[in-house]
Amino acid sequence: MKKVIILTLLAIVGYYLIDVFAQIPFGVNRYEGQNVRDFYLEKSKDDLHVSNAVTSIVVNFRGFDTLGEVTVLFLAVTALGSILYRRREDAHKGVVFFSASKIVRSGAHLLFAPILLLGAYVFIHGHLSPGGGFQGGTIIATGFLLMLLAYHDYRVSHEILSVVESLAGLTFVFAGLGGLLLGKAFLENFLPIGTINFLFSGGIIPIIYIAVGFKVGAELTGLLYTMLNEKEYKKS
């Protein structure tokens, strides 16, 4: 009986999937007479006032894909953390490669703030210059990595990281839902678009990219911290 139900459900799902895919023309130019590249470039310049066309495609025209991408990263980090993270008393005693010299420690201390600033710059100016949330978040994680390698008693609070990450994810989703509430599509722009080439332009794109930057930075920092504090694997 159970198998019959499962097979029926699978058949229904398969029928509709095939039905949908059969309606997509294969090998046919659906944009006959209009060039998609020019369409995107013009749209991002005229309708959104975003000078970096890559950002406008990633966050606005393909914003739903980006939401999925962020979710994939979140799931990967969660899976890794659930395997490696253990709350123990000796968790912080695990040796990072070796204790760093004084020069390395001073240099890391000096470079930490500029690296964070660079990361923040990259994701705040994602709609004006190359880069964006993913790149900026990774740069921030690199800064934390430097501190983790230099000071082997450097601690990162998992609680703060999870709060930052959840808030950033919620910001992304609510920025998308805002468009839905105002009678537009999910993740469609609903804020004033401002002047092109200025910091306050592009509607919700900077907001979403700042959220993505915080999210990616928090996730990768947590990942590195968990991996570095994992104790040496003892072979039996």
Partner 1 sequence: MILLIAIIIMAIILLAAAIYAIIQKDLLYAVIATSVISLILSIMYYVLQAPDVALTEAAIGVALTTIVFIITIRNTERYEGKKYIKVGKKIIKK
Q: Does 97 contact partner 1 by CB under 8 A?
A: yes
CB of 42 to partner 1, least distance (A): 20
Q: Residue 126 or residue 169: which is nearer to partner 1 going by CB? A: 126
Binding mask 109-138 for partner 1 (x = CB under 8 A): -------------x-------xxx-xx--x
**Binding segment toward partner 1, per CB under 8 A, in 18-26, 31-39, 166-174, 228-236:** 228-236
CB of 232 to partner 1, least distance (A): 6
Q: What is the chain's length? A: 236
Q: Does 232 contact partner 1 by CB under 8 A?
A: yes
What's the CA angle centered on 186, arms 140 and 62, to 5 degrees?
55
Residue of 54, 104, 116, 156 that binds partner 1 (CB under 8 A): 54
What is the torsional sign of CA 137, 141, 146, 150?
A: positive
Which residues here bind partner 1, judged by CB under 8 A?
A: 52, 54, 97, 122, 130-132, 134-135, 138-139, 141-142, 145, 220, 224, 227-228, 230, 232-233
